[in-house]
Structure formats: structure tokens, C-alpha cells
Structure 1
Amino acid sequence: MLKNYIKIAWRNLAKNKGYTIINVGGLALGMAVTLIIGLWVQDELSYNNYNTKKDKVAQIFQSQTFNGETGTGPAIPRPLEKAFRDGYMDNFEYLVMSSWTTSQYLKYKETSISREGNFMQREAPEILDIKILKGERDGVREINSIMLNESTAKALFGDEEPIGKVIEVNSQYDMMVTAVYEDLPFNASFNDTEFIMPWDKYVSVNEWIKNAEDQWGNNSFQMFVQIADNTTMESVTSKILEVKQKLNENSREFNTQLFLFPMKDWHLRSNFENGKQAGGRIKYVWLFGIIGGFVLLLACINFMNLSTARSEKRAKEVGIRKSIGSQRSQLINQFLGESFLVVSFAFLIAVLIVVASLNGFNNLARKEISFPWSSLAFWGVSLLFITVTALLAGSYPALYLSSFRPVDVLKGTFKAGKHSGLPRKILVVVQFTVSVAFIIGTVIVMQQINFAKNRPIGYDKEGLVQIPTMSQDFTGKFELMREEFINSGAIVEMSTSSAPTTNIWSNRSGFVWEGKPEGFQEDLAWTEVSPEYAKSLNLKIVEGRDFSREFPSDSNAVLINESAVKYMGLKNPIGKFIKDDDEEDPSPPLKIIGVVQDMIAQSPYEPVKQGMYVFDKYGNSSYYNMRLNPSQSASQNIAVIERVFKEHFPNIPFQYDFVDEEYAEKFASEERIGTLSGIFTALAILISCLGLFGLTSFVAEQRTKEIGVRKVLGASVFNVWNMLSKDFLKLVIISCFIAVPIAYYVMNGWLQEYPYRVILKWWIFGLAMLGALAVTVLTVSFQAIRAAKSNPVKSLRTE
């Protein structure tokens, strides 16, 4: 019997090729989209799954309240380590202090490379749960040891044995390779940790870190922990919640709260608002999961619509089968079997589409997803996916077709019924409601991105290049290099800064100034710069003057931005002093000599942070900022800069970044979401149009004789087009009016997350509605006009 069912199903599919292509093609597209989204969602949800201790690993976070607003982050003070080790170690299996992930120059013989990594305490391999390929697991036990990941070891040593080899770091100190570990997966928080060096080395080579041992106000470090087996995250958090206040009464003014932030939340739930966890990338997982579900639903709706629409074609078959004894359950099984066959065939095509498009999708989504050919779990889920889709797509047609009465069918008195088309109309409305909502959502996402992109950034990012200066080789050479680079003709100005142009690396408090309100808790971005900083960035001085080498007193001068003027409540800022409120060891007061235009250094969706630009007295620069010569090409300028750089720093790899490209990265996440949403929206509309095309074809075929009679009686092509199109246009208009309020509610909620956001305007919704109607008209018109132009003689002749 099963064999017969398959034969009948195959013959029906082969007999109606157009119907089959639309049905299988639509399903395949819908399933391919759902599969790709499913792989993306699985990749997101499996972040850090490589770590078998994921549920026990956490990072110490703290919340501090400034003027009623609570900020939360991972930066902690160094004395916290001693406090935890002295009083709380029974709660922890491991506790590891860490630097931030930074780039370092690694050199072996003639090979010099730049890699990112961390200085961490010796238990780091346990918390990171890394797999040692060569050497010791306790690889950072000794102060002059270094652990490399496999890729870095390969880049430095090639086929040589790395263990025991000595490499030079930043032209400053030598380190011995004690271990090589397997590269961490792409979807791991420590993926960019390409080396690990001892925390003790970090302390020994940086005087400021030694001094930070008792500085509770210096939040410049990270701490990772693995909790003990006999406790929980919540339990440990409750114990450490007020440790800082107990040990340092001065911290009470900021109402500091410490807590454990579990590794399982690092990637998907990393946003905090006013001290409370407020989601994160999990919203995109939900978003794409919903999109995938709806796209698959659209494909299933096509199947249902076309199957029920063609029911009269199979009415006699049902009648004959019932009259010779077929039970309704047998007919249901047959039609569900046909559905399963179509879905299985569509799934095979979907797999081919996914495999062919996966590389492009990875490039677009910035992922390294591979098709899970060897995963039994994947194929098990796929079988369930096929079964559920077959049931979802085939259940209504099966129940509907099997309900026909054989007497009515065989006597020729069978009629589909006055309201038989109602379910199809409802499904078409659902299809286009989803499609129109997708269109509106995609337009608003792209509008928000463009709104932020068009925001004035306060400086000229075009033709601006930055070079990291992390090696000791750069110390004391700024004046020489500035002169060399300018004389080369490749640049017109150069400066140094303690942070990149596109970020803020340091925030400070503990200042007093004239007119400071009582109890005001300040939080100011702090950047140390050379006198040429504003000139190299084309940063506008809106009040006062810039730094000048002609004024020795400028070593104690400061520039502040417009946001700082408002934040500090300064009426006439020029000439005012900002003083250190540390009475025991005060720094010299800083005289405000100028106000610069606000420049966006952090998120372009957030207000500009109040900031200070301080004269760099001690050469603590992290970057050279260069303004390229506009009269020459960028490639020509870079070639000259590289030549001059290599003349003075032959042992350091030449690295540079275009600031405009770095700034563009701030939009990368939203742009990827917008682009992916756009692609999925286009596919959703395509699937909906395929279904509409199929339905129009069937209606035109069903009303062939009616069209012939109307044409003989004088109906024009427009009259026939109007007759076939108006019902579908009505359904799409209904869809639009349902989709608009839904899309408004969802997207207005999404925009609330951005302080700097676009205002929703009526034309966005109107444009989406017009677009949906235009697509509908084009889709329906092809078949309608074709039917209207057909020869009535052929349709009216005797069968």
C-alpha cells in the first residue's frame, strides 16, 4: 500500500509540473532560510560551550552609582584580589586576575608578529579550559614563561619545536614558550586570547600596577573565578555583595555592588541598565528565530493554499476511492504521505541551497558556521523538522480532501461551498501581514543606522590613520618620528594619544572645580594627548585656544569638550581650574584653556561622554595619529610611512588602521542585522508571491470558460484583469492594516534602547504598504493579463 501511495503521489506531482515547482520551490526556500537561521541560532546559543566548566565560571562585575545613574561593568580594583583570597576562597575553586586583552609584538629570530592576549595568573588554563597540545598545563607558573595558541606558534616557529624557545616581547623582555594550546573556537569569548603571559610579569614591568595594590579607586583590572562545587552563583554573589564597602568606607558614596556575572550570559545577556541585567544579543536570537518560524510558515501556507485550491481536481479520485471501500483514515494517510514526499524533496533542495550559500552567509554574518554533516543530533532534529513541517503543511489539505462525500462527487453535484475559499483568504492575509511587517522592520533598522551614520562626529575621520605604539622602542621618539614623517611628505600632521580615536580607555573622578555642586559625583573620560592632537584630527576649538608648544605652562593645561562644559555646569570655562581632591597627594591643578567640539569616541547611538584632553607630560602614548597628505593617494602615503617606520623600527611589524574603517565598525553589528533582515524579508516576499502566483494561475484556470464568455460579450482586458485581481488586492490591503500597528509597536519598543534614535514617520509605513501592493499587482497581473488575452474560442469549445 505504501508503494502505491508513493506512486500516486509521484504521478500527481509529475502531472502538475507548474504546481509542483511552485510548491517544492517555495517550501525549499522557506526550509533553507529556516535551516540557515537555525544554524545561526545554534551557534549563538552554543557560545562558550567548548568550556566544560561553563556553568561554574564567572567574571566579577561591579555597579557604581553616579548622580542617581548606575553603571555596570567588569573593571575592578586590584585590592579586591587580596580581599577575596583572605576571606572568601572557600567559595572559589580558582581565582584569576587578568589584564585586558591587548596586542603585543612577539619576535623570534627574524620573524616579528603582532598578536592579542592576556596577562593572567597561573590558574588561567583551568578557567579557560584550554586543551594543551604541547608543554605544561601550568605554563605560566614562572615569571618569564608564555603560552601560545597553535596559530601563533605556527606563525612564529613554522615547523620548529616551540617548547623551550625564547621569544622577545615588545623589544622589552624575553619569554620562554612553556606550552602550546589548541586555538579556541570562533564562538568563544576568549577566542582572541592568542597568548597567555604571567600576571606577575605584568606587575613587574608596570610601576603603576605595583602602586595599584592598595588603590581601591583604580578600576583597571579584570577578575575571573570558578566557583566551588558545593555552592552557586547566587550564593557567592550574596556573600561578596558588600565586601568593598566593608574594606573601604570611601567607596560608600558610589554605592558599589559586586556580583558574579556567569560565563553562560557573557555573550547573549551582557547589557545592563541602571544596575540591572537588560538582555543583549539574545534579542537577535529571538528575532531571527521568529523570522525563521514565520518564513517556514509562509512556505507551509503556500502548500495548504495550493493543495486546497486544487481540491476539485482530485474530488473524483476521492469519490471513487471512497466508493470502493477506502476509509477516511487511509485517505488522510495518503495525503499526508504526499505531503511528506514533497517536504522531503524540498528538504534535500534546501540542504543544497544552504551548503551553496553558507560561505557567503558566514562572510555576511561574521561567523564560522559549518554544515553539521556528521552530527547525529542535527539529522535527528532534521527528521523531526521534516515530520512537523509535513504535518503542518499537509494536515489541513488531508482533512479537507478526505471529507468529500462520494455521492455528491460522482453525481457531479459536488461544489466546494460558499465559504470554501475563506481559509485560503485568511492564509493569504497572514502571509502578507508577515511580509509587510518584515518590510517595515527592515526599513526602520536601516533608517536607524543611517540616522546614526549621518550624525556629526566632531572630527575629520577621512585620511586619518593611527599606528599602535605598544613597544618600548617608541619611548622618547615622538618628536623625531613626527619630523621624519612630515618631511617624507606622506603626512601633514601627527600627534599622540593614550587611547584610539574611536574609543575611551580611561575614566576618572576625584576632581573639584569652582561651582561644583555639593555631593556631585563626577565621571569624566580622560585622554592624554600631545599638543598637535586637535590639529591632526581637525578637531574644532569652539572656545579658547589649543595646546601650544610656545607655552610651557600648557603641561598643566586641559581641553574639555562641550558635553563636559554642560556636565560640570561651567558658565565661562576658559581660565577655570580643575583640581585633584586628594588632599594627601594632590596633582597640580589643570587650567582649562579651550573647549573642543564634541567628538564621538564610543557608541554613535549614545550621547557624547563628557571628556578631558590632558597634555601628555610623560609620553604615555598608545597611538600615533597621522593626517595623510591629501594631495597624494592613500596607498602612496602608506607606502612612504611604512618605509620610514621600518628605518627606525626594523624589529616591529608595521601596523596601521584607517580611522574611518574603525568608526564604520561601530555600525557593523546593526548593519549585519539589517542586511540579514533585508535578505530574509525579500525571501519571505518571494515565497508569498510564489503562493499568490500559484493561486492566481489556478483561479484563472478555474474560470477559463467564464473569461471566454465575458470576452465574447465584450469585456476588455482591463475588465478581466480587474475581475481576477481585485480579490487579492483586497486581501493585501487588509494585511497592510493589520501589519502596520504590529510593526509600529515592535519597532517603537526596539528603538527605545537607543538614546539617539530616529523618529518613526508615517511615510515609512505608507511606503511599505505601497510596496506590498505593487508586488501583488505585478504578481497577479502576469497571470490575469495572460488569461485576459487568451482566445475565447479555445475556452468555449466543447470538451
Structure 2
Amino acid sequence: MIKNYLKTAWRNILTKKSTSFINISGLAVGMAVALLIGLWINNELSFNKYNEHYDHVARVMQSKTISGTINTNENIPVPLAAELRTTYKNNFKNVVLASGTWNHILNSGDKQLLKTGSFMQPEAPELLSLHMIRGTRKGLNDPSSVLLAATTARALYGNVDPTGKMLKLDNKMPVKISGVYDDLPKNSSFNDLAFIAAWQLYYAADPNLKKADTDWGNNSYLLYVRLNDNADVNTVSSQIKDAKLHRVDQGSAKFKPVILLQPMSRWHLYAEYKNGVNTGGQITYIWLFGLIGVFVLLLACINFMNLSTARSEKRAREVGVRKAVGSLRSQLIMQFFTESIAVSLLSFLFAIVFAWLALPLFNEVAGKQINIPWGNPLFWLLCLSFSTFAGLLAGTYPALYLSSFNPVKVLKGAVKVGRFSKLPRQMLVVMQFAVSIILIIGTVIIFKQIHYSQNRAVGYNRNGLITIEVNSGTIHKQFEAFRNDLINSGAIVNITESSSSTTGIFGGVGGLKWSGKDPQMNDEFGMVGVNTSYGETVGWQLTQGRDFAASAADSSSVILNEAAVTYMGLKHPVGETIDWWGKKYQVAGVIKNMVMSSPYEPAKQTIFLMDTKPGNFLIIRINPRLSANTAINKIQGIWKQYAPAEPLDFRFADQEYQKKFADEQKIGTLAGIFSVLAIFISCMGIFGMAIFVAEQRIKEIGVRKILGASTFNLWRMLSMDFVVLVVISLIIASPIAWYLMYNWVGRYVYHTELSWWIFAITGVGTIVITLLTVSYQSLKAAIMNPVKSLKAD
């Protein structure tokens, strides 16, 4: 019986080539989209799951109440680690302090590499579940040691075992390589750890860290913990919440610091905190693309259902004969299900090929390293189950509908399907286009929001501005000579030093006093240390007062941005005195807000302070008369003279700024691709329906032509039904799309408007695409010789 079902199914696929092609290709595209999205979702859900202690690792975070708002971040004070190890030691197996992950110089012989790495305490390899290729996880017990990732070790030493060899870190710290570990996966929070150096190296090299050892107010470090097997993260989090509050002075206690744990399972998908509440994050996109995958597959299944039921009259006699010779309805249902599952399985074979071919482009757009797990039996089991389910989903309505025909009525003549027989098919077409229209409108608004934010005034001139992060004090010690040589070379017009790049604020201060400040106010400012040429170099825009003077006497002056003036409630800021922990500073000027952090949020209240050693960033304005390559080559030549042991790592400010839109651009690009595919699938379905309608009405068309109907009138008659369905889809989809995207753009303080023209252009575009899709078949039927039309079966 099964063999007979399969034979019949195969014959139907071969005899109805156009319908089969539309069904198989449409389902294949839908399945390929669903497969790619499924692989992407699996990659996201498996983030950090490489870790053996995944369920017991957490990062320590801190919430503080500032001006009535609870801010939560992962920056903590050093003494908190000792507090957790002693007072709360029964809850933890490992407590690991770490620095941030930054660029550092690795020197070995004549090789120099600039790699991102971190300083961590000895238990880090165990907490991170490092897979050691050389050495053991106890390698960091040596206070002068470093562990290298496999790719870093190969870059420095090739295939030679590097353990026991010496290298220099940041041109000043001699370290011994005590082990090599496998690179951590791309879908890991630590994927950029090219090396891990011993915490004691950091402690010995940075005098500020020695002060931080007992400073509960210096929140500049990271802390990770591994809980005991029987410990509950929420219970432990509630136990340690006041671990800092009990240790700080009255001034710091006003910020109401709360210590909490965030389990590793929530680091990636639930990274966002708003007013102290863990609100979500990347999980939003999991749901979004999961729904898109379901809807795109549903569109393909709708095509199958529509074309199968549309051709019901063609198969009515077959059903009648089968029933007349004794076939049960259950057998007919089984036959139709076999056909739909066969089409689905064939479609899946093509879908695998499509997904494999599209995967490199998909990885590039999504920023992933996803592969099809060819050798995983579970993957194939899921795929086959998925394909079977898709076949059942697509075949349910046709199977029940076709098997319900009365054999007596069918064999007497044409089956009368009733005036409302087209209604289910029309509803499915409306659903198809409604989903496609929502996707298109959503994509347009995402890119409109990105464009709106990209064109926001940033308060300085990004063009021709480059940033260099320096990892040693070599350039600072010779800054004036270095500056003069660069200017004399004609490569640049100005250069400055700063504690932050122009696209980030890496320092903050609080506890300031000024005239009129509310005594109950818990203040917080961004702080950027600069030298006297900073304003001229970046091109900031003064609105009041003056720039920094080129004099050491101006070291007690500060410049505020407009957000800081508003935050402080100053009516006449220039000349205002600010008390920062007993030292007096005078406001020299006010600048327009520089957008240095998120382009979607208001500029942070920021103080610019003149400092004799501002920090680790050089900001350079290259000569606009030279090409960027020429200017960079000249800078590199002079750089090698002053810092031969330090690689030149430069970044263009405009490119760094564009990176802030990377997530939204990825989402928009992927949504755009899926929208195009959704429209493609919908158009394939409507093309198949147009073929069927033209065949069904071919005699009517012949009669109308004989009676004088023009080709245009016939084209309009055949096309109008589909246009009406698309218009109904627009009416349904537009308010849904407006509601969804209104809530989406509402997440951003600076957001675009939902312009009417987006909906209008989408509507007109969809109607035009529909007309182009059905016009070929409509015109083909309209220009056919009426004699042939009347002879058609």
C-alpha cells in the first residue's frame, strides 16, 4: 500500500511539472530560511555552553542609585573579592578578579603582536574551563606567567612548543609562558582572549592597583565566581547584596550599592538592565527571527495548500473513481499526505543545498561562524521530523478537502464547489502578503532609524580623525618631539592625548560639589582627561567661555558639555567653582554635547579636565590635503622612530562610530533578506494561482474575446482579483506593522518618525510586484487565439 502511495505521489509530481516546481522551490526556500534561522538561534542559545561549569559560573555586578535611577554594571572594587572569599566562602568554589580585555603588545624576539588579553587570578583557567594543549590549568599560579591561546602561540612560535619561553608584555613586563589553551569558541563571552596573564603581573606594574586593594570606591575591575554545586544563584545573590554597603563611608553609602550575581546563562541573551531590573537583550532578536522563520515557512506551506485545493476540480474524478472502487476516506487522506510529505522531503534536499550555498554570506552578515553539522545524527533527526511536520502542515487542508468529495456527484459531472469555495484560498493569500508587508515595513523602519541616528549631530568633526591606543609610556615621554615631527612631515594638522577615544568615555567621577547643588543629590559624571590641544584637534564647538590655555596654570580649569550644565542646573556656568574631593576647579567653557557613547541615547554629562598625563589615547587630525594612505604611511615612519617596539594600531573615528550601529545593521540586513524571500515565496504562490485561474477561465476568456473584449480589459479582469487581495493585505498589515514598529523605535530616546510614505511606498510596491507576477500569465491567456480557448478541455 505504501509503495502504491509513493508511486502515485511520484507520478503526480512528474505530470504536474509547473505546480510541482512552484511547490518544491517555494518550500525549499522557506525551509532554507527556517534552517538558517534555526542554526543561528541554536548558536545564540549555546553561547558559553562550552564551559564545563556553565550552570555554576556567574559574574558579580553592582547596582547604584544615582539621581533616582538605578544603574547596573559589572564594574566592582578589588576588596570585594576578598570579602566574598572570607565572609561568604561557603558559597563559592572559585573567586576570580580580572582586568578588562584590552590590546596589549606581545614581543618575542623580532616578532611583535598586538593582541587582546586580560590579567586574571590563578583560578581563572578552571573557572573558564580552558582546554589546555600545553601545560595545565594551574599555570597562572606562577606570578610572572602567561597563558597563550593556540592561534597566538602559533603566530609567535609556529609549531614549536612555547612553554617555558620568555616574552615581553607591553615592552616592560618579562613573562614566562606556562601553557597554551585552545581558542575559546566564537559564541563565547571570552572569545577575544588571545592571552591571559597572571594578576600579580598587573598588580606589580600598576601602582594604582595597590591603592585599589583597599579602596571600595574604585569600581574599575571585573569579578567572576563559580558557585558550589548545591548553591542557588538567587539565594547567594540575596545574601551578598549588602557586601559593599557595610564597608563604604557615609558619602558612598548614599548611592545605595547593591551587589548581585548574574548567571552565565544570562550574560549574552539577557545583558540589559533598566533601573535595576534585568529586562532582556539579545533574546528579543531570538524571538523576532524565530517568528520570521516560522512565518516564512508558513508562507511556503500556504502556497502548497492553495495550489492543491485550487486544482481540486482536476482531481475530483480521481477521487470519485477511487471512492467508487472502494477506497476509504482514510486511504485517500493517506495518499494526499504521502504526496505532501514527498514534496516536503524533496524540498528539504534542495533546502540543504540552498542553505549550504548561502551560509558563507549569512555568516558574514550575521557575524557568525556557523556550520551545518553534517555528522550530527540529532541534526538529521530534527530535520527529517521538521520536514515531515512541514509536509503534514502543508497537506492537512488539501487532504481533508479533496477526500471529502461525494463520488456520485463527481462522476455525474463537474464538481460544484460552491460560491464560497475560493474564500479559504483568498484568506491564505491575504495572510501571505500581510506577513510579507509587515516584514518589508519593519525592515524599512529599522534602516530609517539607523540613518536617523547616523546623521545625528555629534558635536565634533569625525572626518580625518584617527585614534591610536598606546600601550606603553614611550610616546608620552617624547610627546612634544613626536608631535613636532608629525606636523613638520605634513602628515597631520594636530595631535592630542586623551584618557578616552572620541567614541567612548572610559572614566567617571562623583561626589562633586558646586553652588546650588541639592545636598541629597548623588551625582555622576563622565570624565575625560585631555591636554591643551584636544579641543582644536577634535573640533569641538564652544558655546560659552574659552578653550584650555596652553599653560600649566590652566590645570585647575575644566570644560563642561551642555548636558553637564543642565544636569548641574547652572544658569551661568563659566567661572563656576567645582569642588572635587577638596580640590577646586573653575569652569573655563561650555561645549556642545559630543556624542561619544551610544548614538541612540542622550549625551552623558561630561567634564573635560586638563591633565599632564591624560591617558592611553592619541587623537590625530590628518592633513586633509593628503590621501589617508599617504598620511598613514608618514605617521608609521615617524612612529617607528619613537616606538619601534610597539605596533601602530590606528582606527578612524568615523569607522569606529559606524560600529555602534553594527547590531541594528545586522538585524536590518537579515530582516531585509528574509523580507525579499517572503515576497518571492508569496509571488510564486500567486503566480501558480494565476496559472490555475487562467486555465479555469480559459473558455470564458475565449467567449469574451469573440464578443469584442480587448486584451487590456481581459488583463484587468484576470489581475484585479489578485490586486484586491493585496489591498486587503495592506489594510490588515499596516496597523499591525505600525504598532510593532512604534514600540520598537520607542526603545530609543532619539528615534525616527513612522512616516506615512513608508506605508504608501510599500503598498504601491507590493501592488506593482503582484501585477508583474500575474501579468505574464494574464496576458498569455488574454492574447490566446479564442478558437484554441474554446477547444480547451
**TM range, smaller chain:** over 0.9
Structure 2 counterpart of 1:73: 73
- Encode CA deviations 1:554-611: one digit per residue, 9 max, x unaligned: 112111111111111111111212112x3xxx3x311211112211111100000010
AA matched with 2:136? E
Residue 727 (structure 2) aligned to one of 728, 733, 738? 733
Report the CA distance between 1:3 and its aligned residue: 2.4
- Encode CA deviations 1:716-740: one digit per residue, 9 max, x unaligned: 1222122212222221111111111
Residues 481-496 of structure 1: pairs in structure 2 closer than 5 A: 481-496=482-497
Report the CA distance between 1:642 and its aligned residue: 0.8
C-alpha distance in structure 2 between counterparts of 1:162 and 1:439, whole Å: 54
AA matched with 1:301? I
Report the CA distance between 1:121 and its aligned residue: 0.6
AA matched with 1:41? I
- Stretch moving more, 55-64 or 244-253: 244-253
Structure 2 counterpart of 1:113: 113
- Stretch moving more, 716-725 or 178-187: 716-725
Report the CA distance between 1:473 and its aligned residue: 2.5
Query: Contact 1:170–1:472 (CA<8 Å) still a contact in 2?
Result: no
- Encode CA deviations 1:191-249: one digit per residue, 9 max, x unaligned: 01111111122111111111112222111111000011121001101100112222224
Aligned-residue sequence identity (percent) comes to 46
Structure 2 counterpart of 1:337: 338
Residue 626 (structure 1) aligned to one of 602, 620, 625? 620
Dislocated runs of 4+, deviation >4 Å: none
Residues 558-707 of structure 1: pairs in structure 2 closer than 5 A: 558-580=558-580, 582=581, 586=582, 588-617=583-612, 619-707=613-701
Structure 1 counterpart of 2:4: 4
Structure 1 counterpart of 2:750: 756
AA matched with 1:105? I
- Encode CA deviations 1:101-142: one digit per residue, 9 max, x unaligned: 111100000000011111111000111111011012111111
C-alpha distance in structure 2 between counterparts of 1:69 and 1:137, whole Å: 42
Residues 83-122 of structure 1: pairs in structure 2 closer than 5 A: 83-122=83-122
Report the CA distance between 1:648 and its aligned residue: 1.8
AA matched with 1:347? F
- Encode CA deviations 1:503-522: one digit per residue, 9 max, x unaligned: 11111101111222221221
Query: Contact 1:562–1:597 (CA<8 Å) still a contact in 2?
Result: yes
C-alpha distance in structure 1 between counterparts of 2:116 and 2:190, whole Å: 10
Structure 1 counterpart of 2:206: 206
Structure 1 runs not aligned, ≥5 long: none
C-alpha distance in structure 2 between counterparts of 1:103 and 1:654, whole Å: 11
C-alpha distance in structure 2 between counterparts of 1:651 and 1:762, whole Å: 58
C-alpha distance in structure 2 between counterparts of 1:126 and 1:552, whole Å: 50
Structure 1 counterpart of 2:260: 259
C-alpha distance in structure 1 between counterparts of 2:710 and 2:501, whole Å: 70
- Encode CA deviations 1:644-669: one digit per residue, 9 max, x unaligned: 11122222112111111111000011
Structure 1 counterpart of 2:424: 423
AA matched with 1:692? I
AA matched with 2:217? G
Report the CA distance between 1:413 and its aligned residue: 4.5
Structure 1 counterpart of 2:387: 386
Structure 2 counterpart of 1:301: 302
Query: Contact 1:172–1:472 (CA<8 Å) still a contact in 2?
Result: no
Residues 134-533 of structure 1: pairs in structure 2 closer than 5 A: 134-250=134-250, 251-533=252-534
- Encode CA deviations 1:619-639: one digit per residue, 9 max, x unaligned: 242111111111111011111
Q: Indicate yes or no: 2:22 matched with 1:22.
A: yes
- Please give the root-mean-square deviation of Cα atoms over the aligned residues, in Å: 1.2
Query: Contact 1:511–1:522 (CA<8 Å) still a contact in 2?
Result: yes
Query: Contact 2:313–2:414 (CA<8 Å) still a contact in 1?
Result: no
- Encode CA deviations 1:384-423: one digit per residue, 9 max, x unaligned: 1011100000111111111111111111142222221111
Secondary structure of the residue aligned to 2:497 is: strand
Query: Contact 1:64–1:70 (CA<8 Å) still a contact in 2?
Result: yes
Secondary structure of the residue aligned to 2:754 is: coil
- Encode CA deviations 1:348-387: one digit per residue, 9 max, x unaligned: 1111011111011111110000111011111111011011
Q: Indicate yes or no: 2:719 matched with 1:718.
A: no
Report the CA distance between 1:329 and its aligned residue: 1.2
Query: Contact 1:93–1:226 (CA<8 Å) still a contact in 2?
Result: yes
AA matched with 1:453? Q
C-alpha distance in structure 2 between counterparts of 1:199 and 1:498, whole Å: 23
C-alpha distance in structure 1 between counterparts of 2:451 and 2:476, whole Å: 41
C-alpha distance in structure 2 between counterparts of 1:136 and 1:764, whole Å: 59
AA matched with 2:535? A
Secondary structure of the residue aligned to 2:334 is: helix
Report the CA distance between 1:798 and its aligned residue: 7.4
AA matched with 2:213? E
Call closer, same or farther: CA 1:621–1:245 in 2, change over 3 Å. closer
Query: Contact 2:146–2:178 (CA<8 Å) still a contact in 1?
Result: yes
Secondary structure of the residue aligned to 2:537 is: helix
- Encode CA deviations 1:39-77: one digit per residue, 9 max, x unaligned: 111111110010121110000111111111111100011
AA matched with 1:520? M
Secondary structure of the residue aligned to 1:395 is: helix
- Stretch moving more, 105-114 or 563-572: 563-572
C-alpha distance in structure 2 between counterparts of 1:624 and 1:249, whole Å: 37
Secondary structure of the residue aligned to 2:352 is: helix
Secondary structure of the residue aligned to 2:141 is: coil
C-alpha distance in structure 1 between counterparts of 2:414 and 2:165, whole Å: 91
C-alpha distance in structure 2 between counterparts of 1:183 and 1:797, whole Å: 72
AA matched with 1:694? G
Secondary structure of the residue aligned to 2:383 is: helix
AA matched with 1:38? G
- Stretch moving more, 398-407 or 241-250: 241-250
Report the CA distance between 1:742 and its aligned residue: 1.2
C-alpha distance in structure 2 between counterparts of 1:798 and 1:217, whole Å: 88
Secondary structure of the residue aligned to 1:244 is: coil
AA matched with 2:174? D
Structure 1 counterpart of 2:36: 36
- Stretch moving more, 788-797 or 360-369: 788-797
C-alpha distance in structure 2 between counterparts of 1:370 and 1:342, whole Å: 26
Structure 2 counterpart of 1:544: 545
AA matched with 1:607? P
- Stretch moving more, 723-732 or 36-45: 723-732
Residue 787 (structure 1) aligned to one of 759, 781, 784? 781
AA matched with 1:462? N
AA matched with 2:655? E
**TM-score between the two structures when normalised by the length of structure 2:** 0.98
**TM-score between the two structures when normalised by the length of structure 1:** 0.98
Query: Contact 1:525–1:609 (CA<8 Å) still a contact in 2?
Result: yes
AA matched with 2:83? A
C-alpha distance in structure 1 between counterparts of 2:122 and 2:406, whole Å: 79
- Encode CA deviations 1:742-797: one digit per residue, 9 max, x unaligned: 11121111122111111222222222222222222222222112211111011113
Secondary structure of the residue aligned to 1:715 is: coil
Query: Contact 1:171–1:472 (CA<8 Å) still a contact in 2?
Result: no
Call closer, same or farther: CA 1:568–1:313 in 2, change over 3 Å. same
AA matched with 2:167? I
Q: Indicate yes or no: 2:51 matched with 1:51.
A: yes
Query: Contact 1:66–1:522 (CA<8 Å) still a contact in 2?
Result: yes
Query: Contact 2:144–2:200 (CA<8 Å) still a contact in 1?
Result: no
Structure 2 runs not aligned, ≥5 long: none
